[in-house]
């Protein structure tokens, strides 16, 4: 039987793994996505204390081993982290506690405009994109194509305006069609890098697709 690939999220969720390994994986993940944690608190009821609350949250998660709470209910790191943030803020804010008593559901992940959840998703998406960008940059460096990457990276998100690619091709003394193919490949690799970064945080394909849709919507709303 083929083994499923080990990811940082699967390492956290696997109860049979040594606690030290799970703790190390959790520590790395929450540090990588710390901007999303700070953003959640900044848009919450205790916004002025966002940095302090984020640090308190991170320390408590490590000291109390919060990663052990992950189970089949949470198919992705994003959903699990957001649920933990909601619980933490509810315990710190009387206003949040009142909303909890009214709704009876702290795991409701529906997102409204300008909510802490919306800001969390935006920053989470930016962290994920940065991770994919760094991986792609390292890949091109390993292939000896750092200059090519530097010249084309501005068009990872948006296609070049009319004439821009031809101007770059002339400056680099390469055929425009050749450069167009290189750009198409770069953008395809970037999409693959984003999917690979997300796969590290979510084992279930359906949930991964849902996360990807939510994060794309968060980035689209930023424009």
Query: What pLDDT digit, counting tens, does each position of 144-197 carry?
Result: 999 999 999 999 989 999 999 999 999 999 999 999 999 999 999 999 999 999
Handedness of CA 73, 22, 64, 210 (dihedral sign): negative
- Using an 8 Å Cβ cutoff, are 197 and 7 in contact? no
pLDDT for the residue numbered 164: 96
Q: pLDDT by residue (tens digit) across 26-75?
A: 888 888 999 999 999 888 656 678 899 999 999 998 888 887 777 655 67
pLDDT higher than 70, residue 209: yes
Burial environment of residue 41 by CB neighbours within 10 A (0 to 12, 13 to 18, 19 or more): buried
d(CA 150, CA 94): 49
- Please give the pLDDT value at position 200: 87
pLDDT at 195: 92
For position 20, what pLDDT does the model report?
A: 75
pLDDT at 191: 95
Cα distances (Å, whole numbers) of residue 114 to 27, 40, 84, 171, 176: 28, 11, 20, 44, 43
SS3 at position 106: coil
- The count of other CB atoms within 10 Å of the CB of residue 211 is 23
Number of Cβ within 10 Å of residue 118's Cβ equals 19
Query: Environment class of residue 27 by beta-carbon count within 10 Å: exposed (0-12), middle (13-18) or buried (19+)?
Result: middle
The SS3 call for residue 9 is helix
pLDDT tens sequence across 77-107: 898 899 999 888 888 765 444 544 454 444 4
pLDDT value for 110: 41
Instruction: Give this prediction's pTM.
Output: 0.81
Which ranges of the chain does DSSP label H, i.e. alpha helix? 8-13, 19-32, 34-42, 50-63, 77-92, 94-103, 116-142, 146-152, 164-172, 176-199, 205-222
Residues paired with residue 76 on neighbouring β-strands, in sequence order? 202
202 SS3 class? strand
CA-based nearest residue to 206, from 48, 79, 42, 31: 79
* Four-residue CA torsion sign, 138, 122, 109, 38: positive
Tokens of 217: 């919507």
pLDDT at 66: 83
Asked whether residue 15 carries a pLDDT value surpassing 70, the answer given is no
pLDDT for res 115? 86
Average pLDDT, the chain: 82
């Amino acid at each position: 039987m083929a083994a499923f690939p080990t990811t940082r999220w699967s390492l956290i969720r696997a109860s049979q793994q040594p606690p030290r390994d799970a703790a190390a994986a959790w520590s790395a993940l929450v540090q990588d996505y710390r901007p999303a944690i700070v953003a959640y608190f900044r848009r919450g009821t205790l916004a002025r204390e966002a940095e302090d609350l984020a640090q308190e949250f991170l320390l408590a998660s490590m000291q109390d081993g919060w990663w052990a709470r992950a189970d089949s209910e949470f198919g992705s790191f994003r959903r699990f982290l957001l649920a933990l943030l909601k619980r933490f803020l509810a315990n710190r804010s009387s206003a949040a506690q009142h909303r909890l008593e009214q709704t009876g559901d702290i795991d409701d992940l529906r997102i409204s405009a300008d909510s802490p959840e919306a800001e969390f998703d935006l920053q989470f998406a930016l962290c994920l994109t940065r991770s994919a960008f760094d991986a792609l940059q390292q890949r091109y460096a390993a292939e000896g194509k750092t200059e090519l990457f530097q010249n084309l990276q501005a068009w990872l998100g948006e296609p070049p305006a009319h004439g821009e690619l031809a101007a770059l091709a002339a400056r680099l003394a390469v055929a425009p069609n050749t450069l167009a193919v290189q750009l198409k490949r770069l953008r395809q690799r970037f999409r693959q890098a984003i999917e690979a970064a997300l796969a590290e945080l979510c084992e279930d394909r359906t949930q991964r697709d849902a996360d990807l849709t939510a994060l794309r919507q968060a980035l689209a709303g930023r424009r």
